[in-house]
Amino acid sequence: MNLINSKNRTQAKRLLNNFHDSREVRVWTMQQLNDALQRAINSGLLTLAGAQRALGITSRDENESSHSDRAKRSDNNDAEKDDGDDDMQSHHNNEEGDNGTEGDDDGGNDASKGDEKGEGEEGDEGESESGEDGNEESESEEQNGNGDGDSEEDESESEGDDKSQSGDDEGDNEDDNNDDDDQSQEDGKSEGEEGEDEKEEEQQEEDEEEEDDSEQFHDSFKTIMKWIQAGVNVALVGPAGSGKSYIARQVARHLDRGFRVNGAMMSKYDLIGYKDANGTYHDTPAYDAFVNGHIHCFDEADASAPDAMVAFNGMTDDQPFFTFPNGQQEKHPDYIAVCCMNTWGNGATSEYVGRYKQDAASMTRFVKVLVDYDRKIEAKIAGKKNLDIAQRVWDLRDACESLGIRHVVSTRMIIQGVKGRAAKCNKTDIDRDVLFAGLDEGAVRQLKTKMNEIARLRSNES
């Protein structure tokens, strides 16, 4: 069941960000999004109804129902208008009938006929008017004393005119009501059309943002993929935020392999697990990957205590077994270890002071691949609307290198800057809290001057 389409793809990505890495979700295809959503529903992380609400499916159904109701109201208004026209025609016929009685000598009979017509056409209102007319005629006869027929005929004509006028007024009122309903209906259509226009504009913006939905790969991706397919453990070495752990996850997904990850460890038991006082073994991601044949990502490996890495030696050598606290376990043939490191294992540097010098035997168990910042990846992360943020980060990185200022300018700055702009943070906020955070005022002035110079040179070249 595919719930995700081109119209609700953005809502789907926001929803799946709750269960997956947002950078991973950003580059998924439509089918991958649908598969991930189905897994979340099957595993109980999300209900089907909750997913439909998040994707706006219920909202669309309500809109269709609203349009249907409007159509029904339009039909009812037309029917009421037709009834009003019939009433008008009936009142005109009554007026012609009253005019035909002018030649009658018996004024009393005319009044009686007029009353009977009023009862047939007006119901209760006709009866009330007839009673009043009869009283007026009686008073007139007492005053005149002779019951002049001509006077009664005049009264009959007057009564007919009043009824005709009353009918005209009622018809006008009904027409006015119909006009009001028509205007209300037109206003409702106008509001609906404006809503549709807004939806079309939003969809157009989403399409522009996602027009390049192809998955982007780091320059080192193919090399890393080859080593892992060859069954060789890999150490990914590069600056902070260059995407090392993300590449490892991306490789696992494309090889359709399980992925387990742990961070820096201060004890070997963080790696291999332990038994509690009751003798119950508590396993780890490393144990799961070793036994079940997943790709095991050891993130921040060079920030781990050396004895933890030495314990890792037995899992990454060519031996088919390893002894965990719960006994000796056979290594799955598909088990592969991937270490992510900011240094080459030679100890702390001026930028990465929390790194340990690693045992040489541990380092020989891995091939080492450099993973530097990739501007194609960074541009895709920023998107067209925020490409200026990515360009400013690139200028800062070049300025730091040119001036010899030690300052980590990572891809994470672009991610943080984009999120900040979405939250209404301005350029000053992003500069202060993201790009130049931690630098003294003198260094910031130097870097901004250099960045302006770099920007001018780029402008002249273009």
Predicted confidence band at 18 (pLDDT cuts at 50, 70, 90)?
A: confident
Q: Encoding tokens for residue 128?
A: 């009330």
Last residue of a domain, one of 350, 370, 390: 370
The residue with greater pLDDT, 155 or 242, is 242
Q: Are residues 322 and 437 in the same domain?
A: no
Give the number of domains in the chain: 3
User: What digits encode the pLDDT tens for the residues 48-104?
Assistant: 887 888 888 764 444 444 454 455 455 555 545 444 454 444 444 444 444 444 434
- Domain membership of residue 104 (yes or no) is yes
Do 221 and 250 touch, CB atoms closer than 8 A?
A: yes
Shared-domain flag, residues 71 and 184: yes
Find the angle CA(60)-CA(64)-CA(70) to the nearest 5 degrees.
140
Residue 289: which CATH number? 3.40.50.300
- The angle formed by the CA atoms of residues 297, 301 and 307, to the nearest 5 degrees, is 120
Considering the domain architecture, whether residues 390 and 309 belong to the same structural domain is answered as no
Give residues with Cβ within 8 angstroms of 186, minimum separation 6.
Answer: none
Which range of 8-22, 179-193, 357-371 scores highest in mean pLDDT? It is 357-371
Question: For 433-444, what is the mean pLDDT?
Answer: 96
* Residue 407: per-residue pLDDT: 94
Q: How far is CA 50 from the centre of its chain?
A: 14
Asked if residue 112 and residue 74 are part of one domain, the reply reads: yes
Distance CA 59, CA 114 (A): 59
Planar angle of CA 155, 160, 164, nearest 5 degrees: 145
**What average pLDDT score do residues 109-124 get?**
42
This model's pTM is above 0.95? no
The per-residue pLDDT for 213 is 56
Number of H helices, E strands in the chain: 19, 9
What number is the average pLDDT over the span 141-166?
45
Instruction: Say whether pLDDT at 191 is over 80.
Output: no
Whether residues 177 and 244 share a domain: the answer is no
Q: Indicate if 341 and 255 belong to the same structural domain.
A: yes
* Helix axes of 375-382 and 411-422: crossing angle, nearest 10 degrees: 10
Q: Clarify whether residues 353 and 403 are in a common domain.
A: no
Among 370, 401, 428, the domain-final residue is 370
Do 351 and 245 lie in one domain? The reply is yes
Band of pLDDT at residue 181, cut at 50, 70 and 90: low
| Whether residue 229 is found in the same domain as residue 361 | yes
Mean pLDDT of the chain: 76
Residue among 397, 454, 386, 360 at smallest CA distance from 240: 397
Q: Which tens digits make up the pLDDT trace of 306-347?
A: 888 888 998 998 889 999 999 999 999 999 999 999 999 999
Q: What are phi and psi of 262, to 5 degrees?
A: -140, 160
DSSP state for residue 433 in the 8-state scheme: I
pLDDT tens figures, 272-299: 999 999 999 999 999 999 999 999 999 9
Q: In which band, very low, low, confident or very high, does the pLDDT at 141 lie, cut at 50, 70 and 90?
A: very low
Residue 151, classified by CB atoms within 10 Å of its CB into exposed (0-12), middle (13-18) or buried (19+), is middle
Residue 205 lies in a domain: no
* Beta pairing partners, 281: 275
Beta strands in 276-341 (DSSP E): 281-282, 295-298, 321-324, 327-330, 336-341
Residue 51 located in a structural domain: no
Say yes or no to pLDDT of 132 above 50: no
Q: Which pLDDT score is estimated for 332? A: 96
CA distance linking residue 288 with residue 154, whole number of Å: 109
Is 39 part of any domain?
A: no
Residues 181, 68, single domain; the answer is yes
Domain annotation covers residue 216: no
Highest mean pLDDT among 94-98, 155-159, 404-408: 404-408
Query: What are the two backbone dihedrals, phi and then psi, of residue 194, each rounded to the nearest 5 degrees?
Result: -65, -40
Q: What are phi and psi of 260, to 5 degrees?
A: -125, 140
**Residue range 454-462: average pLDDT?**
90
Residue numbers of the domain that contains 408: 375-461
Percent of the chain with pLDDT over 90: 45
Specify whether 451 is located in the same domain as 338: no
Confidence of residue 246 (pLDDT cuts 50, 70, 90): very high
Does one domain contain both 363 and 232? yes
Residue written as tokens 């005319």? 110
Whose CA is closest to 22, among 438, 415, 299? Answer: 415
Of residues 29 and 230, the one with the higher pLDDT is 230
Q: Assess whether pLDDT exceeds 60 at residue 413.
A: yes
- Calculate mean pLDDT across residues 4-19: 82
